[in-house]
Amino acid sequence: MSAPGHKLEVGLLTEIGRLSAKLPPLPLVVKYFDDFSNKTHALRNIEEDKPLTLCVDGREWKIDFARFQPAESVFRHIFVEWLSRLDPTTVVMKVAGVHRYVSRRGIGSLVELITSTPYDARAHWNTYVLADVSADESFALRSTLHSLCRLNIGHWSSPMASIIRGLKSPKVDKYRVVRAGDCFLPLDQQAMLVNHIDDMCARLAANPDAVDGTALRDVCMLVMSYQYAFRAGQIARIELADVRLFSTGAVHVAVLLIKQKDRSKRIRVTRRIKREWASMFNELVKRRENGAIQPDDGVPPRLLFGLTPLGVSDAIMELTEELTGEAWSPTDLRHTAAQRLADSGISHLGLTEFLGHTSDRIANVYFDTSPAQAQRINEALAISPIYSNIAKIAKTKTIDKAQLLGLPPDQQIGAVPHGIPIAGIGGCNLGQSLCIKNPVLACYTCSRFMPLGEPEIHQEVLESLRPVVTEFAAASRYNQQSPAYAQLKTTLDAVRRVVEALKSENIDEERS
C-alpha cells in the first residue's frame, strides 16, 4: 500500500486517467434553489475548464475544479450529485473541506481513495488519512466516497456504503463550549442587553424620529437572537410578510427552521414578541415599507432586516461588544438562551422545540450543564458564579463619598426594598425620579449606575438581601421561573460582581 504525499505516483495518475475516460457526460444545465434569494439558479457548461460561481446566502462562491487535477472530472460529477440532493450551503462546505485536505496532504491521497478498491481505500484511510485530518475534512471525504457509490464510479457501488459508514473519524465534542460554559453571557451582561432594549423602547415612545434606523434594526435582531435563540441565517431569512402586526399591539414573527436534514421539516415556526418590545418591530416594519431603511446591496427587498447571514452576525457582535465590552455571537446568545431555559426548569421536549431540533439528545447537554437545585439557590444568593463561569468582574465607573454627596438628591440612590433601608450605595446619571425601574433592585444591573467605591457598603447590601431570596424561593416552592425570584437572582449576582471588582481594584492599588 503506497502512502502518497504531495506528489502523485505514476500508477495512480494512469488509473485516474482511465477512470475519468469512462465517465458519462455531465448534464448541460444543473439547477439549484437558493432560499435566501428565493431564486432557482442554473449552472451551464459544467464540463468547461473554468471555475463555477454559486450564489448562496447573498454571497458568491467560486468553485475551481482545477484544484483537484487530475481528479477534476470525477469531482465535477461528485459536485453535481451533491447539488442535486443537498442545500447549496452544505455543498460549499463540503467542497471547501475536500480542498483543505488536498492542500495539506496532497492530491495523491484523494486519488487513491477514488481509484482503490473499497477495502484498500479503508486501509489507506486508517494508515494515512486518520493521521492528519480534521473533523470537517473527514466529513467531506466520507461524503465524497458516498457519492462515488451512488454514481458507481470505479470500484465503488451502493453495497460498499457500509464500509464507508464504518470508517473512523476524529472525535470532536461539538458542545465543548457549552460544557465549559465559555459561551454563556454572565447575568450582569444579559442585564445590559435587556437595559439597552428597554431604553430603545423608551426612546421610541418619547420621539420615534430621534431613533437611528440602523440602531433600530440591530436591536430588533438582538431581540430575535437573545429572546428566541435564532441563528444568524434564520434571522436573515425573516421576511416582511413573516411579521404580523395586531391592533392590540401584539407582534408575531414566523421564522424558518434551517439546518434540517429532511427538507420537509424546514417549516416556519411562529414566535410572539414580548409585548414591551413589540413597538420596535412595529416601527421597523413601518420604516422598511416606506423606504426609510434600505436593504444592503444584493439583499432581496422582501427580507425584513436587509442583511446577509454574515451581516447579521457581524451586526450583533458589534452591538454586544459596544454594550458589554465583549463581542458575543448569535451562537453564544443561542446557547445562553437555551441554558437560561434549562436552569428555569423547562422540559426536555420544551427545550427541543424551542431550539428547533428534531432530537432531544442535544437538549441533554444543557440539562447536564444546568446546576442542581441547591446550587441554584447558592447562585441566587450570589455565592457561586453563574453557569459555573469564572467570575467576570464588571468594569463600572465608581465614585467616592465626596462626589456622591455633591450630587443632587435625586441622583443619590436610596430606597427601602423589602423593608430593608438602603442608601449611599452610589449615584445615578439619570435621576431616580426619571427612572422607570425599581430603585436599588435595578440599579446594580443598570449601565447608568455609579457605585460607591467602598466594597463594604455593597457587601452589606448583599448580606441584607440574601434572606429575601430564600423567602421567595420557599414561598414559590423553588419555582425558578418566578419573575421576582429571577429579578433578585440577577440583582444579587450584579451586587456580588461590584463587590469583587472593588476588592480587586483595592488589592491592585495596594500592590502598586
Domain parsing of the chain, residue ranges: 10-165, 177-370, 401-511
Tens digits of residue pLDDT in 424-455: 677 776 666 666 565 555 677 776 677 777 77
Q: Report, as an integer, the average pLDDT of 14-27.
A: 90
**Positive or negative torsion for Cα 318, 323, 327, 329:** negative
- 283 C-beta neighbours (distance < 10 Å), count: 20
Give the C-alpha separation, 35 to 23, whole Å: 32
Q: In the structure, what pLDDT confidence band is assigned to residue 369 with cuts at 50, 70 and 90?
A: low
DSSP element (H, E) containing 60:
strand 59-63
pTM passes above 0.75: no
Specify the 3-state DSSP secondary structure of 428. Answer: strand
Per-residue pLDDT tens over the stretch 398-430: 666 676 676 777 677 766 665 566 666 777 766
- Alpha carbon distance 340, 371 (integer Å): 11
DSSP 280-307: HHHHHHHHHHTTSS-PPTTS-TTBSS--
User: Where would I find the H helices in 325-432?
Assistant: 330-343, 348-355, 361-369, 373-380, 401-405
Q: Is 262 helix (H, G, I), strand (E, B) or coil?
A: coil
What amino acid is encoded at 27 in this protein? P
CATH of domain 177-370: 1.10.443.10
Complete DSSP assignment for 206-238: H-GGGS-HHHHHHHHHHHHHHHH---HHHHHT-
Q: Is the four-CA dihedral 231, 236, 242, 243 of positive or negative sign?
A: positive
Q: At residue 383, does pLDDT exceed 50?
A: no
Confidence bin at 204 (pLDDT 50/70/90)? very high
Backbone angles phi, psi at 60, to 5 degrees: -105, 130
